[in-house]
């Protein structure tokens, strides 16, 4: 569908060949690079930090969509922004002062976004819709790639779509977790316009064909 963007999550990429993987998804029509940052506290897994963001910045012109699944995001926002994050999204469950943290992201020159876990009410982001460029709705419990899509997210996307129209804010609605050729049409129909996909893209042979089909 026109206007649908795809953000491959490099969590599923081959890290021994990261540069080639990035070049491949660029050529395949990716719109963002989704970078999953996990701290082993807010989520059970540990992944990558600002160093990786800095390295990515040197090898791609695509916007870096940095998803912080970490405690005390305010402590690390400046480092990620400095490393070259274009968009920084923070979880409403872990930010102790959401408006302040979103403002901090802007102060450091990146675009702010808010994330909600599957168990968190979408209404939590309504007071900050004019402070973000993107809301990210998790359709799995964060921590790992390759999990099963939770259809409960569909109603939340619809609610957010209605509210963002009512508030007249032009935000991106991004969905993350279990997105594949079967679930993408469902989230798009509900109102999402940015699809994060890890395993569906990187475990496929032909990245371009998958990205094209996800956008339909």
Q: Output the six-digit token pair for 45.
A: 């897994």
Select from 197, 210, 211, 214 the one that contacts ligand DX5 (CB under 6 A). 197
Cβ distance to Zn ion smaller for residue 35 or 128? 35
- What single-letter DSSP state applies at residue 47? -
Contacted by 8, from Zn ion, ligand DX5, none: CB < 5 to 8 Å by type: none
Could you tell me the CA-to-CA distances from 158 to 3, 164, 167 in Å, in that order? 17, 10, 14
Q: Which of 39, 86, 172, 176 is catalytic?
A: 176
Select from 198, 207, 210, 214 the one that contacts ligand DX5 (CB under 6 A). 198
**What's the CA gap between 198 and 178, in Å, rounded?**
8
What own/partner pairs with CB < 8 Å and gap ≥ 24 does 115-121 have?
115/67, 115/89, 115/90, 115/91, 115/176, 116/91, 116/92, 116/156, 117/91, 117/93, 117/141, 117/142, 118/150, 118/152, 118/153, 120/92, 120/93
Position 200 contacts ligand DX5 (CB under 6 A): yes
Q: Output the six-digit token pair for 147.
A: 């999990």
Q: Output the six-digit token pair for 161.
A: 């779509």
Position 11 contacts ligand DX5 (CB under 6 A): yes
Select from 21, 31, 36, 65 the one that contacts Zn ion (CB under 5 A). 36
Select from 150, 199, 213, 215 the one that contacts ligand DX5 (CB under 6 A). 199
Q: Which range of residues in 56-64, 73-81, 121-129, 177-185 is near ligand DX5 by CB under 6 A?
A: 177-185
Query: Can you give the binding site for ligand DX5, defined by CB under 6 A?
Result: 9, 11-12, 34, 36, 67, 140, 142-143, 145-147, 176-179, 196-200
Binding residues vs Zn ion (CB under 5 A): 36, 67, 176
Residues labelled catalytic: 36, 176
């Amino acid at each position: 569908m026109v206007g649908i963007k795809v953000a491959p999550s490099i969590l599923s990429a081959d890290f021994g060949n990261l540069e080639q993987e990035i070049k491949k998804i660029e050529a395949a029509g990716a719109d963002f690079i989704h970078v999953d940052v996990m701290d082993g506290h807010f989520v059970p897994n540990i992944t990558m930090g600002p160093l990786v963001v800095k390295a990515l910045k040197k090898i791609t012109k695509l916007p870096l969509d940095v998803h912080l699944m970490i405690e005390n995001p305010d402590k690390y926002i400046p480092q990620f922004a400095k490393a070259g994050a274009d968009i920084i999204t923070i979880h409403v469950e872990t930010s102790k002062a959401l408006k302040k943290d979103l403002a901090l992201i802007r102060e450091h020159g990146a675009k702010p976004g808010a994330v909600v876990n599957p168990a968190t009410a979408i209404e939590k982001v309504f007071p900050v819709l004019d402070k973000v460029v993107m809301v990210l709705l998790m359709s799995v419990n964060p921590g790992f790639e390759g999990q099963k899509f939770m259809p409960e997210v569909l109603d939340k996307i619809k609610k957010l779509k209605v509210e963002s129209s009512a508030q007249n804010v032009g935000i991106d609605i991004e969905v993350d977790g279990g997105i594949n050729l079967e679930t993408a049409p469902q989230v798009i129909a509900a109102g999402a316009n940015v699809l994060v996909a890890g395993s569906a893209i990187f475990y496929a042979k032909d990245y371009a064909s998958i990205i094209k089909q996800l956008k339909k």
